[in-house]
Amino acid sequence: MIAIPARPYDYPLAPGSTALVVIDMQRDFIEPGGFGASLGNDVARLAAIIPDVAALIGLFRERSWPIIHTREAHKPDLSDCPPSKIARGGASPRIGEEGAMGRILVAGEPGNAIVEELAPLDGEIVIDKPGKGMFWATGLHERLTGMGITHLVFAGVTTEVCVQTSMREANDRGYECLLVEEATESYFPQFKQATLEMIAAQGGIVGWIAKLADLQAALEAEAKTVGS
């Protein structure tokens, strides 16, 4: 175990059993013209975390630890998108309609891709999820179990929607979950703050929160110990 300084207490990271999950770092949420912008949000807040998410991905790639990228994506015929989800946004264009980067939240459309700076590499897992959570209708739990993964480190957007939902689903399935503070963001700063507090409250009722610099320092110190 590597002790990562975290809230509410050190996170017991387990090398060999830990995967990074990068939630929905897609053009649809981060670039002008996508789903996020169509709902009236300031997408620049989300774009600002790209360098920190890239640094976190780099830590896992250096160690050849598994990385899972998710995309919120629906089939072109929208058969996996409940009418309630389409109706809910209110804005136009809605899910499935043409936006500035193709059909909104539809798999294979330009806007549905992960931003270029964080593009998955060969061998990394990419999951298309029709829900906000990463386990609903994806088969991911079975894949992670098969890989021996027990610990998940989270990054991505948005903190209070798809990141929090995925983390809660993971927590209920027994994974030890850590969210990296600088590598997640919301369109609403108060929602991010509230989510971080909710996760770590009551002795880590959903999981742990760590600073990127603390995770980096702990992993680098461990690498030096192993190398010496």
Least distance (Å) between residue 193 CB and ligand C5J: 16
d(CA 155, CA 33): 23
* Interface residue with ligand C5J, options 162, 167, 183, 196 (CB under 6 A): 162
CB-nearer residue toward ligand C5J: 69 or 219: 69
> Would strands 125-129 and 67-72 be described as parallel, antiparallel, or unpaired?
parallel
Least distance (Å) between residue 132 CB and ligand C5J: 6
Whole-angstrom CA distances from 179 to 81, 139, 183, 185 are 28, 22, 8, 11
Least distance (Å) between residue 71 CB and ligand C5J: 9
**Marked catalytic residue, from 129, 132, 177, 192:** 129
Using the rule CB under 6 A, is 169 a contact of ligand C5J?
no
**Marked catalytic residue, from 28, 52, 81, 162:** 162
* Interface residue with ligand C5J, options 72, 169, 176, 182 (CB under 6 A): 72
d(CA 148, CA 77): 35
Whole-angstrom CA distances from 215 to 15, 74, 223 are 13, 34, 12
Segment interacting with ligand C5J (CB under 6 A) among 9-17, 47-55, 155-163, 177-185: 155-163
Q: How far is C-alpha 182 from the geometric centre of its chain's CA atoms? A: 12
Using the rule CB under 6 A, is 182 a contact of ligand C5J?
no
Q: Is 132 a catalytic residue?
A: no
Least distance (Å) between residue 23 CB and ligand C5J: 6
Q: Is 129 a catalytic residue?
A: yes
Q: Is 98 helix (H, G, I), strand (E, B) or coil?
A: strand
* Interface residue with ligand C5J, options 11, 24, 65, 103 (CB under 6 A): 24
What are the structure tokens assigned to 4, written together?
A: 């990562």
Using the rule CB under 6 A, is 161 a contact of ligand C5J?
yes
Q: Is 24 a catalytic residue?
A: yes
- Residue 103, CB half-sphere, CA atoms under 13 Å: how many? 14
Amino acid identity at 142: E
For the chain, the C-alpha Rg in angstroms (whole number) is 17
d(CA 185, CA 46): 6
For the annotated catalytic residues, the residue numbers are: 24, 129, 162
Residues that bind ligand C5J (CB under 6 A): 24, 29, 72, 132, 157-158, 161-162
